[in-house]
């Protein structure tokens, strides 16, 4: 664990630590993003990178962008090797992390799960939306929801962190200041969201092939998206009454990025919305509230751990609109997971994440 000590010159210094890291399921898009950030993290050392299908294959053979940065080969998941780590990230499909987390925690290993296995506290709600029986419901109460901007103190003490979903990150960061201030009607919230195709994962599936999505635009999961209960759970925690939320995701023909247009009815039209948002996120390193009159673009956060927000009242009416953009693979997944790791090990929160977005 990192700590502060005094040098002979009387100045404070922070002890540098090496966090031994394992990644389970490192061949997907979020897995390679974890590798990209952790390969250059000054206080993390990649020890184990697993993939059953690619065991024995050098990481750089599958991901040439990591040549000279990651000198490891993929291996099959092994409790012996993972137990020697300080922290294990699960970048796996839903249902995998919950079968291994209990044993890792008993071995003293901290766990950050990028899937949905520990995000929802009500096991019946989780099993309804994810269509499987939960393997370790006894850990749901302990799991800390890893939205750093609201749970920072709890994350620093956690053994098990449930990394938020990509849509829930953008939607919650956009609505939370309004709900906390009590200036909107919580019963009629609308989240109109668009995501790039990488949100569907790295797999060969007809609906996400280039020829199927290029030059097209559509809503999906119109009967109900699995991120809905996660978003409601987070918003309900800060709302005086349970929220009523209409959440509609759309697929757009781009690789990365989420754009959320969030609508609510103001119950207090006297509020200075711009000031409210600036005050709410003034000290947050990865949330950027744009000046009044600007609208964020997904390309402005591509490859970075930032979420950009803008707020307005169209025509000065009683409707407030919040725009939120993020990279779904970074602030919506791997970057936020590294942010959580930093907090869990007493490392400055921005370590390894000070990346400028790539333009164009």
Ranges of each domain in the chain: 4-163+333-344, 166-326
pLDDT in tens, the chain (360 residues): 444 444 555 555 556 679 999 999 999 999 999 999 999 999 999 999 999 999 999 999 999 999 999 999 999 999 999 999 999 999 999 999 999 999 999 999 999 999 999 999 999 999 999 999 999 999 999 999 999 999 999 999 999 999 999 999 999 999 999 999 999 999 999 999 999 998 877 877 877 788 888 889 999 999 999 999 999 999 999 998 999 999 999 999 999 999 999 999 999 999 999 999 999 999 999 999 999 999 999 999 999 999 999 999 999 999 999 999 999 999 999 999 999 999 999 999 999 999 999 988
* Phi, psi of 21, rounded to the nearest 5 degrees: -115, 135
CATH (one of 3.30.470.20, 3.40.50.10420, 3.40.50.720, 3.50.50.60) for 4-163+333-344? 3.40.50.720
Catalytic residue IDs: 166
Tell if the pTM clears 0.85, that is, is over it: yes
Rounded (5°) CA angle 222-223-224? 90
Instruction: Tell me whether the omega of the peptide bond preceding residue 359 falls within 30 degrees of 0, making it cis.
Output: no
Chain-centroid distance of CA 18 in Å reads: 23
Provide CB contacts within 8 A for 282, sequence distance 6+.
Answer: none
- The neighbouring-strand residues paired with 89 are 23, 112
Q: What per-residue confidence (pLDDT) applies to 199?
A: 81
Report helix, strand or coil for 73. strand
Q: What per-residue confidence (pLDDT) applies to 7?
A: 52
Domain 166-326 falls in which CATH fold? Answer: Dihydrodipicolinate Reductase; domain 2 (3.30.360)
Provide CB contacts within 8 A for 291, sequence distance 6+.
Answer: none
Does an H or E element contain 231, and which? helix 228-236
Q: Could you give the CA distance from residue 41 to residue 305 in angstroms, rounded to a whole number?
A: 14
Judge if 4-163+333-344 and 166-326 fold alike in CATH terms. no
Classify residue 221 as left (phi > 0), alpha (psi -120 to 50) or beta: left
Question: Are the beta carbons of 2 and 347 closer than 8 angstroms?
Answer: yes
């Amino acid at each position: 664990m990192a700590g502060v000590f005094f040098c002979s010159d009387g100045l404070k210094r922070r002890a540098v630590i090496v966090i031994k890291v394992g990644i389970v399921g490192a061949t997907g898009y979020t897995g390679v993003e974890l590798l990209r950030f952790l390969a250059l993290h000054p206080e993390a050392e990649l020890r184990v990178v697993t993939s059953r299908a690619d065991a024995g294959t050098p990481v750089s053979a599958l991901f040439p962008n990591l040549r000279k940065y990651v000198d490891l080969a993929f291996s099959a998941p092994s409790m012996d090797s993972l137990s020697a780590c300080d922290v294990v990230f699960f970048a796996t499909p839903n249902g995998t992390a919950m079968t291994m987390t209990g044993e890792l925690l008993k071995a003293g290993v901290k766990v950050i799960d990028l899937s949905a296995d520990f995000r929802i506290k009500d096991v019946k709600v989780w099993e309804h939306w994810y269509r499987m029986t939960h393997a370790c419901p006894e850990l749901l109460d302990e799991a800390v929801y890893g939205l750093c901007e609201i749970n920072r103190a709890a994350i620093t003490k956690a053994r098990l962190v449930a990394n938020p979903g990509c849509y829930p990150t953008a939607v919650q960061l956009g609505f939370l200041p309004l709900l906390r201030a009590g200036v909107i009607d919580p019963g009629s919230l609308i989240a109109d969201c668009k995501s790039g195709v990488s949100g569907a994962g790295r797999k060969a599936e007809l609906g996400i092939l280039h020829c199927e999505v290029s030059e097209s635009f559509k809503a999906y999961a119109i009967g109900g998206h699995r991120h809905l209960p996660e978003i409601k759970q987070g918003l309900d925690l800060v709302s005086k009454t349970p929220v009523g939320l209409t959440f509609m995701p759309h697929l757009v023909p781009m690789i990365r990025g989420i754009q959320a247009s969030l609508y609510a009815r103001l119950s207090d039209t006297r509020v200075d919305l711009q000031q409210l948002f600036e005050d709410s996120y003034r000290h947050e390193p990865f949330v950027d509230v744009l000046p009044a009159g600007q609208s964020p673009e997904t390309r402005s956060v591509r490859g970075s751990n930032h979420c950009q927000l803008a707020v307005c009242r169209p025509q000065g009416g009683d409707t407030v609109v919040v725009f939120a953009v993020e990279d779904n693979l970074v602030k919506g997944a791997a970057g936020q997971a590294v942010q959580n790791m930093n907090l869990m090990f007493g490392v400055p929160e921005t370590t390894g994440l000070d990346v400028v977005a790539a333009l164009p």
